[in-house]
Structure 1
Amino acid sequence: MNQKNLQKGRGAQQNVPNRFLRHVYEMREDFMEFCRIEGENPDSNKTEYIPVFPKTIVNKVDSPDVGMMYSMNPYQGCEHGCVYCYARNAHEYWGYSAGLDFERKILVKKQAPALLEAKLKSKSWKAETIVLSGNTDCYQPAEKKFEITRKCLEIFLKYRHPVGIITKNALILRDLDLLSELTQHQLVGVNISVTSLSEKTRRVLEPRTASIQKRLKTIKMLSENKIPVNAMLAPMIPGINSHELLKLSKAVADHGALSFGFTVVRLNGAIGQIFTDWIRKALPDRAEKVLHLIQECHGGSINDSRFGVRNRGEGQVAKQIHDMAKLAKQRYFKDKKFPALRKDLHRQFKDGQMRLF
């Protein structure tokens, strides 16, 4: 891997234009050369935390193939910097770029716990699993500073409401006390994302995420505490990590995962440009091969917007991935089952304490 020209600690290597904005900000080569001569840094590459004030926090998920009905995002943008992340496009709605802005301008919703509590107390609300987070990682580095996710878990526990969690950060173990209590009432399920068993691949693909060993240990510790874990082996990128699917599924099963899911990578919206630029800099020797393999999974395009097909892919390359997944489930998950979460407890706790009458 030739990482000499990569921005340290970042996935995207540029700020692609925002499709909703008329003007484009561009850093010209002559300006960067001037900065070099003057000994100045044209780009500090620092992360910025920006408070935002939404009126609601729980989102209805309309996409029929995502696998969740409701989600909430304490943060927008994600410092993990996964170059393939589908959530990057959402940053454009906030007026930022899906590229480096997504990793460096983190929008923080400090009133998320209060908004969540108001939602769960609403007379019209009927309990359905709410997923933290459908868009960005609720345990990204910002959570160490703001602890919004932990406060939301306290609300879920107070109102005995089911919650799902998706993360690739070992920081989730900080909240083992709350997760254990939620588990006692069958109210929580955790999805840990594990994309590769290779640290080299992980570092270049997901530069600010927890190491693979930390993620596997996280699965093990959660499982030992009876907290159900589903492993997300996603996305599968042909030519980069798809050949690891069998080994990945065995590793997560050995560490206690009860099930696994996967998707075939698709590079929707601005992510196509971001990924293409990244792979030609990070993996120049195999860039064109990988891009062609991705195209084979999506009818000749690197993107696919068709519900039911976009995350599964089609064609021979995608079929090979699905065949491996089928074999993995038969071999390593035959007698395992991820439990359903309870939705019947919440009604008794709508006012914050159990109703006696």
Structure 2
Amino acid sequence: MREQSLAGQAAFAPANTADIADAMIVSSGLRVEVDRRRGRGAGLNPTGRFEPLQRETVDDGWQTWEELPPFKTEVQVEKPRTAITRNESPDLSFDRSINPYRGCEHGCIYCFARPTHAYMGLSAGLDFETKLFAKPDAAKLLERELAKPGYKVRVIAIGTNTDPYQPIEKEWRIMRGILEVLNKANHPVSIVTKSAMILRDLDILQEMAGKNLVRVGISVTTLDRKLARTMEPRAATPPRRLETIHTLAEAGIQTAVMAAPLIPALNDHELERILESAKAAGAAEASYVILRLPLEVSPLFRDWLLQHYPDRYRHVMSLVRSMRGGKDYDAEFGKRMKGAGPYAWQIARRFEMAARRFGLTRRSVPLRDDLFVPPDGSGVQLSLL
């Protein structure tokens, strides 16, 4: 094991030294052996950006690689004080959300939530996919928050950071508990997922849909099985996601397709096919998001691109930077989701035309917030006044 200061390391190099950073990523030995990360998305596991030292495993010639175990999924319990997270972002359609899990086993290489693992002292790379945190008390905390005097009802968004229906939900069932609380309280909710596991909760979702309290967005990134397998290794296959859209729509649930993220010169040519297929499956509306590469996501994505699509690497990154003011990412509100410049404009026009052609421009019916019935308040701290 070798340690060195993180200052100036390639993983966090500024955009104008990106080519040098690319070369360092490939040659520095940071890439984890294939056998140890089989079935995972990231090829790197860089030290978290808040850590004072970077640790790098180096082969000393004594075949020590064989002694290192493969990355396995580990789940720790997290005990937050609240279930609802608030935000004031002007380019988000919601002001509150719930995240049942921290980290995501789906392993999507492009996931913009990866950098949040640094707050736990962990890597945005393989740690994000394998060292997960579950919040088993989320439903109880939510019930208490909804019961507080003065609580104002707004749509709660779930799945905006990590997927609430990632594989470990099958065992932990935290999302189902949350839905049970929301359904009982007649509270509106919006869900985003790329997992077919959401159909497990079809009984609750159907009941909520009958009161116009739920809408679901299914993320369809590509229709190419090979690309999906490498880019989103533990997520549902593209056909399975389309089947999920169909089942949800047939059950009377407001269902949308999210073509996200669109990656130039990699999957953006599929935009029209994705929308057409989703419409045929039953989707009523659509949206899209351009690839976002904040913080550690940039070197992780670039390394993945060099591994799987080296012939497209320069072209993809050139187009990405053309939409981000010459950088890998621009976090400016109003631009971070859609990008800027000629190529971003072209994608926006294509989306508008395709959505109109396939009848995906209909706005969803606003979810009701007038049916809310506060929980009985058991467990809520009483006022001292």
Q: How would you bin the TM-score normalised by the shorter chain?
A: over 0.9
Q: Is the 8 A contact 1:133 1:165 kept in 2?
A: yes
In the TM superposition, what is the alpha-carbon distance from 1:133 to its structure 2 partner? 2.3
Distance 2:324 2:184 in 1: 45
Over the aligned positions, Cα root-mean-square deviation in angstroms equals 1.6
Asked if 1:80 corresponds to 2:106, the answer is yes
Question: Where do 1:181-192 residues align within 5 Å?
Answer: 181-192=207-218
Q: In structure 1, what is the equivalent of residue 63 of structure 2?
A: 34
Corresponding pairs, count: 344
Asked if 1:337 corresponds to 2:363, the answer is yes
String of CA shifts for 1:306-342, please: whole Å, max 9, x gaps. Answer: 1001111111211111111010121012673312110
Q: Secondary structure at the match of 2:60?
A: helix
Q: Is the 8 A contact 1:16 1:273 kept in 2?
A: no
Question: Where do 1:121-270 residues align within 5 Å?
Answer: 121-270=147-296
Q: Is the 8 A contact 2:143 2:375 kept in 1?
A: no
Question: Where do 1:269-288 residues align within 5 Å?
Answer: 269-288=295-314
Q: 1:286 to 1:341 in 2, by over 3 A?
A: same
Structure 2 unaligned residues grouped into runs of 5+: 1-32, 378-385
Asked if 1:316 corresponds to 2:316, the answer is no
Q: Secondary structure at the match of 1:301?
A: coil
Distance 1:169 1:139 in 2: 6
String of CA shifts for 1:196-243, please: whole Å, max 9, x gaps. Answer: 011011111111100011000000000000001111100100011111
Asked if 1:17 corresponds to 2:43, the answer is no
Distance 1:226 1:122 in 2: 32
Distance 1:340 1:160 in 2: 14
- State the TM-score, normalizing by the size of structure 1: 0.93
Distance 2:97 2:160 in 1: 5
Distance 1:339 1:41 in 2: 57
Distance 1:110 1:24 in 2: 32
In the TM superposition, what is the alpha-carbon distance from 1:350 to its structure 2 partner? 4.0
Counterpart among 285, 297, 302 of residue 323 in structure 2: 297
> Partner amino acid for 2:280?
D
Distance 2:197 2:300 in 1: 28
String of CA shifts for 1:85-124, please: whole Å, max 9, x gaps. Answer: 0000111112111111100011011100101101111112
- State the TM-score, normalizing by the size of structure 2: 0.86
Distance 1:163 1:224 in 2: 19
String of CA shifts for 1:32-77, please: whole Å, max 9, x gaps. Answer: x6225xxx34132101001111111101122211222111101000
Q: Is the 8 A contact 2:321 2:328 kept in 1?
A: yes
Distance 1:27 1:64 in 2: 42
Q: Secondary structure at the match of 1:280?
A: helix
Q: Secondary structure at the match of 1:285?
A: helix
Structure 1 unaligned residues grouped into runs of 5+: 353-357
Q: Secondary structure at the match of 1:192?
A: strand
Distance 1:56 1:41 in 2: 41
Q: In structure 2, what is the equivalent of residue 351 of structure 1?
A: 376
Question: Where do 1:46-57 residues align within 5 Å?
Answer: 46-57=72-83
Distance 2:155 2:169 in 1: 22
Q: In structure 1, what is the equivalent of residue 86 of structure 2?
A: 60
In the TM superposition, what is the alpha-carbon distance from 1:281 to its structure 2 partner? 0.9
Q: Is the 8 A contact 1:166 1:192 kept in 2?
A: yes
Report % sequence identity.
41
Distance 1:111 1:164 in 2: 20
Moved more, 219-228 or 116-125: 116-125
> Partner amino acid for 1:22?
P
In the TM superposition, what is the alpha-carbon distance from 1:256 to its structure 2 partner? 0.8
Q: In structure 2, what is the equivalent of residue 355 of structure 1?
A: none
Where has structure 1 moved over 3 Å in runs of 4 or more?
Answer: 334-337
In the TM superposition, what is the alpha-carbon distance from 1:292 to its structure 2 partner? 0.9
Q: Secondary structure at the match of 1:288?
A: helix
> Partner amino acid for 1:137?
D
Q: 1:144 to 1:324 in 2, by over 3 A?
A: same
Q: 1:106 to 1:198 in 2, by over 3 A?
A: same
Q: Secondary structure at the match of 1:200?
A: helix
Q: Is the 8 A contact 1:116 1:155 kept in 2?
A: yes
In the TM superposition, what is the alpha-carbon distance from 1:125 to its structure 2 partner? 1.0
Moved more, 309-318 or 153-162: 309-318
Q: Is the 8 A contact 2:139 2:177 kept in 1?
A: yes
Q: Is the 8 A contact 1:156 1:162 kept in 2?
A: yes
Q: 1:233 to 1:154 in 2, by over 3 A?
A: same
> Partner amino acid for 1:158?
K
